[in-house]
Amino acid sequence: MSNKYVYLFNEGSKEMKELLGGKGANLAEMTLVGLPVPPGFTISTKACNDYYLHGKSLTSEMEQQIDEALKTLENTTGKRLGGEEYPLLVSVRSGSVISMPGMMDTVLTLGLNDTTVDVIAHLTDNPRFAYDSYRRFIQMFSDVVLGLEHYLFEQVIDERKKDNQVYEDTELTAEDWKAVVEEYKKIVLSKTKKPFPQEPKKQLEMAIRAVFDSWNNQRAIVYRKINKIPDHLGTAVNIQMMVFGNMGDDSGTGVAFTRNPSTGEAALYGEYLMNAQGEDVVAGIRTPKSIDTLKNVNTEVFQQFLAITKQLEQHYKDMQDIEFTIEKGKLYFLQTRTGKRTAQSAVKIAVDLHREEVIDRDTALLRVDPDQLNQLLHRQIDTTVDFHVLAKGLPASPGAASGYIVFDANDAEKKHLDGDKVILVRPETTPEDIHGIVAAEGILTSRGGMTSHAAVVARGMGKACITGCEALKIDLKKKEIYLENGSLLKEGDTISIDGSTGNVMLGEVKLIDPELSEEFQVLLEWADEVREIGVRANADTPEDAAKSREFGATGIGLCRTEHMFMAADRVPTVQEMILAENNEERETALAKLLPMQQGDFKGILKAMAGYPVTIRLLDPPLHEFLPNVEDLIVELTKMKVEDASIQEIREKEKLLRKIRNLSEFNPMLGHRGCRLGITFPEIYAMQAEAIFNATIELAEEGIEVEPEIMIPLVGHVNELKLMKDLVIQIAENVKERTNRDFNYTVGTMIEVPRAALTADEIAEHAEFFSFGTNDLTQTTFGFSRDDAEGKFLQYYLDHKILSDNPFVTIDQDGVGKLIKMGTELGRKTKPELKVGICGEHGGEKHSIEFVYKAGLNYVSCSPFRVPIAILAAAQATVNNKGQSL
Amino acid sequence: MSNKYVYLFNEGSKEMKELLGGKGANLAEMTLVGLPVPPGFTISTKACNDYYLHGKSLTSEMEQQIDEALKTLENTTGKRLGGEEYPLLVSVRSGSVISMPGMMDTVLTLGLNDTTVDVIAHLTDNPRFAYDSYRRFIQMFSDVVLGLEHYLFEQVIDERKKDNQVYEDTELTAEDWKAVVEEYKKIVLSKTKKPFPQEPKKQLEMAIRAVFDSWNNQRAIVYRKINKIPDHLGTAVNIQMMVFGNMGDDSGTGVAFTRNPSTGEAALYGEYLMNAQGEDVVAGIRTPKSIDTLKNVNTEVFQQFLAITKQLEQHYKDMQDIEFTIEKGKLYFLQTRTGKRTAQSAVKIAVDLHREEVIDRDTALLRVDPDQLNQLLHRQIDTTVDFHVLAKGLPASPGAASGYIVFDANDAEKKHLDGDKVILVRPETTPEDIHGIVAAEGILTSRGGMTSHAAVVARGMGKACITGCEALKIDLKKKEIYLENGSLLKEGDTISIDGSTGNVMLGEVKLIDPELSEEFQVLLEWADEVREIGVRANADTPEDAAKSREFGATGIGLCRTEHMFMAADRVPTVQEMILAENNEERETALAKLLPMQQGDFKGILKAMAGYPVTIRLLDPPLHEFLPNVEDLIVELTKMKVEDASIQEIREKEKLLRKIRNLSEFNPMLGHRGCRLGITFPEIYAMQAEAIFNATIELAEEGIEVEPEIMIPLVGHVNELKLMKDLVIQIAENVKERTNRDFNYTVGTMIEVPRAALTADEIAEHAEFFSFGTNDLTQTTFGFSRDDAEGKFLQYYLDHKILSDNPFVTIDQDGVGKLIKMGTELGRKTKPELKVGICGEHGGEKHSIEFVYKAGLNYVSCSPFRVPIAILAAAQATVNNKGQSL
């Protein structure tokens, strides 16, 4: 046998995940550990790939191995597929290497047909259960395998309930289900022109194909794209003996987490329903009960369950997400996997597990995805301010959000693309709604529990989510929500939701800064001890400086002085400076700006005292500070048509002419950065003087600071040399005037390719380099970010021309190559050269790992990303030690 | 003695140019060869540099060596400086390593004082000459050494002539000059508060210092900048016994070229004046006589002169520019140097000298500066069309030009910066006018000969120039020109000049293509045989293709398809395509464009049949084809103010909205190049189809062509891959539809840094690379050319932040590094990869040499630069063989 495609559960282990998929490997592992797992076998991911290789067909080798495994299963269970004595019923489930919850297809109770249904009815002495199972099976098989729409079948049940004047499925009898089955079979015959397949082996083969096919259904492809899961992994198929949670009141089914996935609390957490199938819990159709109450239903089972979950957590060394079924009082484990969790929970679980000595510190650091921390750092609803709570649901995913109500995933996406913030409101969500969840600020559902689709997906994405908010009566057709209190919400109304409390509020609600948990602080302390590169903040105000310091930044990597120029009260003076007719006029305006800048710098240097502060001299083109040309044209045209005075028109024309003179074809590549400093040295001179004056004022207050002055947009060593000489000259002047000494350094941004290519020359005159990766990405790709993101970048990402947005994650092959080259060349000239990055990439985990490996000294990012960067920096160290667990 | 600063003429040779300067080395060489050179010595360039090193002072070592050399000179000549029996008079001249004609200072007849003037008067029996010399010496010494203005002294002569009622200097008597001398001495005393120095050794020392100082006068610095002469070379000082061309009618002075510097004709060419000093010839104050007429004046001297010039040309193996003086019938050679020449002359002389077996072919190829060829390739005045000749002057520098009249170098520069074309009209030019000559299209002077300042400088720059146009009476104050025929020209009037005929014409005159000389063709043939890289043309029309083929291009390296889109009759269809509401509308418009493009491609491929043609698919952003936003805003505002119909306003607003949607912040980095092809594949598909259809139509006519399809602006291999797949798909479709086969290749522009950095990946899918050095320079520097050139690039060049304009000469350290890297990486993947460049640098000699050394296969440039590129390519080969002569 050249290929082994099929593995019995007792042939595998958790190490075989790549081949058996997550679910298959876990079932094998659980079997190995000795858990009560219903027996079965796994068709490998290799079979899936070979299935596609052979033009979507099962090879005879596969078919033969499936037959053999089935025979073994039949022997083990003493049941036969389609057997008239003891019929074997199986589940057929997908199971990919990386979990994709709800994305692919599953068929349950396979093996039922017109004959076996009666055998089961007889064996269980429960015809109602048998026919209910059979109708469920036909419905699911029709949906998943035959591609018939769900509603066709739901209509049949609705009509029958109407006829019987009952409201719940549970009120329907065995005879009802038997009749439903007949109707279902008619639907299948009418829609597919073939009778519902009665041969169980045929059913099995069709189901296996359907699972393989589901690897490439639309929602799975979207999910993989969002979660960056490679397309070539494929899915395994798990065939497992069915056990039934719906065999009466001594049966049940549920899901549980070994710790709280929302808070991280070290206590069993979960939900179950008695006399129900697993899908009833997950789909959120019935609202389930808390796992704690199980002990009142069946103490023995509950104790057994508790003991096994503890064993599982010790075995897997992480919080587990478990599916279980109780069949006539016997407990079965259907699945266990590492549980998804909120950021808060991830932090607490990681810290707790290390404290419990289950994992080492490095592993604890790796357990939290830095991106997740974002949730904890973003603002939450200010509970000290009054707000009107409309309704309350389950706190399914923490964080707060406000937005317009939309009722449809497509609308959510459309509005989002228009720049609107929306809250997606649905009775419940399904995998088809993924794109709407991506687009929305938050999700609100009227049905479903904490483990419903909406809840799981939202937590994974770090979006605010409230589920099971039953007070909302949603009319999808009218696009309205009726509240219990009689009020009415319409599409377009603004609401706020708080996923941490479950509160739904009218209008936009005030948000406040989050408080960081003790575990969060501990995790950051550990990260600080481990990380080998510095984390600074990009901060332009004393407030931002203080905030980033609080978050753990040990310096400012980028203080943008233009933001200070843009303050409304300064713009007139800045315009005066720009529109100056001569040097004298310009110097007069600059003299007015000097004390303002001096105050700015003093505040920032003081807030960051003890740590380095890199101040970038003026960077943007001057026309950014001037009125808009198009507005002026409109005004001028009006004046002309309306016969304004020649004098007024002349004045306006003069202003327009000046602005036009300053306007540029490609401002990003124009007269900005050091090019301004070179052609208008008086501007940089003023800024340098303001910095040095502030330094001296602070020294007089007993605060020693050492500013790092950064020259932007240098492409040729001579540019830096000239500007450095100017700064030195100003420093000497200030020293002489004040008769005081102070320290400072001068360095440069590396943000055009030429700077990186000639970094050896540039380093001769630079005491530090800071890679401005935003501009460096723009120039290296030849992408204007403003234009690319609106015009073609999304297309590039959707069509996988680029795997990542290079403005989010450093493009290692291109931009990264320049960063490495620039660093190496710079250090060749000056081995002690301090090198950092200060683009937006400075707060992104993949970029931080790259920067660490490239040997840079620090990253600098926005204040709210500082903790993320600290954790990512620590992970970079750990990952590159190869010490993960 | 640790430093030798001073060399007697018989101690040196032409190999010592670096130390002795061009003039000093030549004087030494001439002395060595045995020519009649007045004896003297040279103070070396090293002395000049040490002079500056010692804070502009002559060291005692220098002074001592000067004294010794002077003593030797006195012994050789039997005369003594300041001697009362036989006074030695000397010239003190600068002499830099690279000739800088007229840029630095010279003092003649040094050694005259109140005593020696009388000795000379007595010895020559010519008091008029003695006092004339003395007054010239005082005037020159005062100008050069004491810094007194020329006009102070000219006034004295003018008044004396007025008093005597004479018009020419020659009409003044010895007594007049004696009186002038007294006046001159008074001026010196009054202006400098010191008497004119009477001690000849003091005079000498002061003059030497003045020459050293003149190395850094303003005009010398400007000249070095324009001609790229390094500042550190320094100048030597040549001290030489004076001989006199103004000792009566048996004396004279002149300049001559061993061949015609204008046409290259192999015949002695020059001018002289009897009873005159050299400066009278060069300064153009008196109009001199042709050298041929010298044989009538003194046959013996003329024969001797002829023989020696032939000897000199053989010795130096190049056309010589000679200064000579006849002193009382005895011939002296004062200077010989390689003569400046026009392009036409350079070509003819190089070819002739090789045919005469004086130089080898490689040397001949190096003798012509490729830049100079520009003159020969640019258009000239169409003599078949009537034009009105206002006046006729000397044809001083060939080529034709039109422009506004300006009378002042500063005005010329100002107007030029405003974008106006100007003709600089002056009575005569001086080195102070250099910046005006640079700025002007052409130069017209009313005085001076073919060797006057204006003529020499204009020829060097390849500018049209007419000198000695005495029919023009120029009033510099009124800014008017009176013509002999009574008409009047004013500043701002347009004239045309033809430097090849000497014709001055009113208005702008029709220009025609030049005819290329036989020698030019021969030189290009030689270059073709020698060069190792290909020369292609950037051509977008069949006419340009034919023209470039005529000029020697062996292929098209860049055919820009957007130029075809911009034809006035196509713009409506192109706009239709761009503004299409949906794919259908777009395809309809494209279907209209297809036959047009097909015709374009057929014409070009046919014109270049037998050679490769690289066709670049659409590159510029689509909004370039649409109406201007500002114009639309003006229209719309008017419509609103004037109450146009809502319907009309809506339509206009809709158009404006669409254009706005397409408009970009940085179009250079926006939605263009392959980004267009990727998002609108139907556009590239149409273009590819047009190319393949044209290929097949030509094949049906028996013309086999193999188009090279070039994908622009690729930054990531996936972009190329996608577009290549599209082109291949179209090719397959066309092949199937027509049932015909054809060959083609697909390659890419490398014009963003990322493409060069990842060239190894890109080369997997490219059959050729073409470096688009214009865009690559923009992105590597982060310079938008349109903005940089108007805003700061000139400042950068003026202040030597950049040594060259990177859009003219490839920036080797930055952009060049990417070109090398891209080529190496590309060839690592695909050793046979064809690589070229197609930016404007493809026609620039330094860039071509760089490209040759970087191992590229070809350059591509504008049709009129093809011959320049061919010659530069040959020179690159020769230079890198190290076989120069």
| Of residues B575, B576, B689, the one with CA closest to residue B623 | B575
Specify the pLDDT at position A335: 81
Q: Would the CB atoms of A666 and B752 count as touching at under 8 Å?
A: no
Residue A378 confidence (pLDDT): 65
Q: Degrees (nearest 5) of the Cα angle A790, A774, A540?
A: 110
Residue whose token pair is 């169980």: A200
- Interchain CB distance below 8 Å, B801 and A678: yes
* Nearest-neighbour CA in chain A from B646: distance (Å): 18
DSSP A16-73: GHHHHHHHHHHHHHHHHHT-----EEEE-HHHHHHHHHTTS---HHHHHHHHHHHHHH
Q: Which of B667, B781, B792 sits opposite A671 (nearest CB)?
A: B792
Among A675, A753, A811, whose Cβ lies nearest the Cβ of B792? A675
- The CA distance from B281 to B252, in Å, is 10
Yes or no, beta carbons of A813 and B761 under 8 Å apart? yes
- Residue A584's SS3 state is helix
What pLDDT, on a 0 to 100 scale, did the predictor assign at position B884? 36
CB B346 within 8 A of CB B264: yes
**Contact (CB<8Å) B664/A781:** no
Quote the minimal CA–CA distance from A742 to chain B in Å: 30
| Amino acid letter for position A345 | S
Neighbour-count burial for B257-296, b at 16+ CB within 10 Å, e otherwise: bbbbbbbbebebbbbbbbbbbbebbbbbbbbbbebeebee
Residues of B in contact with A758 (CB under 8 A): 813-814, 817
d(CA B735, CA A873): 56
Across the interface, whether the CB atoms of A675 and B753 are under 8 A apart is answered: no
| Type and span of the H or E element at A5 | none
The pLDDT value given to residue B279: 65
Quickly state the pLDDT bin for B17 (edges 50, 70, 90).
very high
Q: Could you tell me which residues are beta bridge partners of residue A252?
A: A274, A326
Residue of B669, B761, B801 lying closest to A666 (CB–CB): B669
Question: Among candidates B623, B622, B632, B628, which has minimal Cα distance to B652?
Answer: B632
- Reading phi first (left if > 0) and then psi (alpha if -120 to 50, else beta), residue B193 is in left
Looking up tokens 């974002």, which residue turns up?
A374
What is the chain B residue with the closest CA to A637? Answer: B634
Neighbours of A2 (CB within 10 A): 4
Q: What letter would DSSP give residue B428?
A: S
Q: Which of B86-90, B526-530, B636-640, B736-740 is the least confident region? A: B636-640
Residues B757-767, mean pLDDT to the nearest whole number? 98
* Inter-chain CB proximity A670 and B780 less than 8 Å: no
Give the mutation candidate from A632, A660, A664, A669 for the B interface (greatest B CB count, under 10 A).
A669
Q: What pLDDT score does A244 carry?
A: 82
What's the angle, vertex CA B680, arms to CA A216 and CA A223, rounded to 5?
25
**In chain B, which residues have their Cβ closer than 8 Å to the Cβ of A622?**
none
Give the distance from residue A650's alpha carbon to the nearest chain B alpha carbon, in angstroms: 17
Q: How far is the C-alpha of B280 from the C-alpha of B325, rounded, in Å? A: 12
* CB half-sphere exposure, A565, CA atoms < 13 A: 26
How far is Cα A126 from Cα A111, in angstroms, rounded to an integer? 17
Residue B582 has which token pair? 């949906």
Query: Among A104-118, B346-360, B699-713, where is mean pLDDT lowest?
Result: A104-118
Whether the CB-CB separation of A836 and A769 falls below 8 Å is answered with yes
Give the Å distances, CA to CA, from A448 to A167, A271, A444, A540.
19, 11, 10, 45
CA distances B347 to B367, B370, B530, B547, B878, Å, are 8, 10, 17, 21, 17
Q: Is the pLDDT of residue A383 over 70?
A: no
The two structure tokens encoding residue B848:
């071509």
Asked if A115 and A81 touch (Cβ cutoff 8 Å), the reply is: no
Candidates A642, A722, A753; nearest CB to B753: A753
Amino acid at B173: T
Return the active site residues of B: 453, 838
**Three-class DSSP category at B845:** helix
CB of A605 closer than 8 Å to CB of A702: no
Token duo for residue B277: 């000093």
Residues of chain A contacting residue B754, judged by C-beta atoms under 8 Å apart: 780-782, 811, 813-815
Task: Write the pLDDT tens digit of every residue in B196-238.
Answer: 999 999 999 999 999 999 998 888 888 888 778 888 899 999 9
Q: Are strands B235-241 and B90-96 parallel, antiparallel or unpaired?
A: antiparallel
Q: Report the DSSP pairing between strands B394-397 and B400-406.
A: unpaired
Chain B CA closest to residue A664: B787
Of A757, A787, A811, nearest to B814 by CB-CB distance is A757
Please name the residues in contact with B432: beta carbons below 8 A apart, sequence gap of 6 or more.
B219, B409
In angstroms, what separates the C-alpha of A803 from chain B's closest C-alpha? 10
Beta strands in B284-329 (DSSP E): 289-290, 320-327
**Collapsing DSSP states into helix, strand and coil, what is residue A633?**
helix
Contact between chains at A664 and B784 (C-beta distance less than 8 A): yes
Are the beta carbons of B751 and A782 separated by less than 8 Å?
A: yes
Q: Pick the residue from chain A with its C-alpha nearest to B721.
A: A801
The three state secondary structure string of A805-847 is CCCCCCCCCCHHHHHHHHHHHHHHHCCCCEEEECCHHHHCHHH
More confident residue, B765 or B151: B765
pLDDT 10s digits, B517-563: 899 999 999 999 999 999 999 998 898 899 899 999 999 999 998 87
Q: How far off is chain B from A620, nearest CA to CA, in Å?
A: 13
Nearest to A666 among B675, B751, B787 (CB): B787
Given a cut of 90, is residue A863 above it in pLDDT? no
Contact list in A for residue B719 (CB cut-off 8 A) is 801
Query: In this structure, how many other beta carbons lie within 10 angstroms of the beta carbon of residue A800?
Result: 11
What is the structure's pLDDT at B885?
Answer: 34
Helix runs in B453-559, H state only: 453-461, 518-530, 542-550
Report pLDDT digits (tens) over A337-374: 899 888 889 999 999 999 999 999 999 999 999 988 87
Return all residues near A125 (Cβ < 8 A) that are at least 6 apart. none
ipTM tops 0.90:
no
A410-414, A564-568, B874-878: which has the minimum mean pLDDT? A564-568
The amino acid at residue B260 is N
- B476-479 long-range contacts (CB < 8 A, ≥24 apart) are B476/B407, B476/B408, B476/B427, B479/B407
**A632's tokens:** 């002026």
List the structure tokens of A835: 């090198």
Mean pLDDT along residues A280-303:
83
Helix locations, A739-783, DSSP H = 753-757, 759-762, 773-781
Percent of chain B having pLDDT more than 90? 59
Looking at residue B336, what is its pLDDT?
84
pLDDT number for residue A307:
92
Cβ pair B630:A633 closer than 8 A: yes
How far is B541 from chain A, CA to nearest CA, in Å?
28
Chain A: closest CA distance from residue B783 (Å): 5
Partner residue opposite B633 with nearest CB, options A634, A642, A787: A634
User: Residue B591: its pLDDT value, please?
Assistant: 94
User: Cβ–Cβ of B633/A630 closer than 8 Å?
Assistant: yes
Half-sphere exposure of A351 (CA within 13 A, CB side): 20
A to B CB pairs, distance under 8 Å = 201
Best mutation target, A713, A801, A810, A818, to test chain B (most B CBs within 10 A): A801
CB-based contacts of A340, cutoff 8 Å, min separation 6: A99, A101, A261, A321, A456, A459, A460
| Cα of A852 to nearest chain B Cα, Å | 21
Cβ–Cβ gap B796/A678 under 8 Å: yes
- Report how far apart the first and last C-alpha atoms of chain A are (Å, whole number): 37
Average pLDDT over residues B133-160: 91
3 state SS for B114-137? CCHHHHHHHHHCCHHHHHHHHHHH
- pLDDT value, residue B178: 94
Looking at residue B856, its pLDDT comes to 97
- Angle between the B845-853 and B866-881 helix axes, to the nearest 10 degrees? 50
At A242-288, the pLDDT tens digits run 988 877 788 899 999 999 998 899 999 999 999 887 666 665 567 78
- β-pairing, A252-257 vs A80-81, is unpaired
Q: Which of the four pLDDT bands, split at 50, 70 and 90, describes residue B879? A: very high
Res A453 pLDDT > 80: no
Question: Which pLDDT band, with edges at 50, 70 and 90, does A57 fall under?
Answer: very high
DSSP E strand stretches across A628-692: none
Could you tell me if A224 and A100 are in contact, meaning their C-beta atoms sit under 8 angstroms apart?
yes
Asked if A819 and A810 count as a contact pair (C-beta separation under 8 A), the reply is yes
> Average pLDDT of B790-797?
86
Catalytic residues of A: 453, 838
Which of A679, A779, A792 minimises the CB distance to B753? A779
| Burial class of B612 by CB neighbour count within 10 A (0 to 12, 13 to 18, 19+) | buried
Q: For every residue of A111-138, which 3-state class applies, written as one string?
A: CCCCCHHHHHHHHHCCHHHHHHHHHHHH
Q: Do A754 and B781 touch (CB under 8 A)?
A: yes
CA B816 to chain centre: 24
Q: Which residues of A touch B792 (CB under 8 A)?
A: 671, 675, 678-679
Name the residue among A666, A785, A752, A760 with its Cα closest to residue B780: A752
Average pLDDT of the residues of chain A: 90
Residue A801 to residue A752: CA distance in whole angstroms: 24
pLDDT tens per residue, range B271-298: 999 988 766 666 556 678 899 999 999 9
Contacts of B795 in chain A (CB under 8 A): 678-679
CA atoms within 13 A on the CB side of B814: 31
B interface mutation test: which of A675, A786, A807 has the most B CBs within 10 A? Answer: A675
Judge contact between B339 and B258, C-beta under 8 A: yes
Do the Cβ atoms of B752 and A780 come within 8 Å?
yes
pLDDT over 90 at B266, yes or no:
yes
Residue of A nearest to B786 (CA): A665
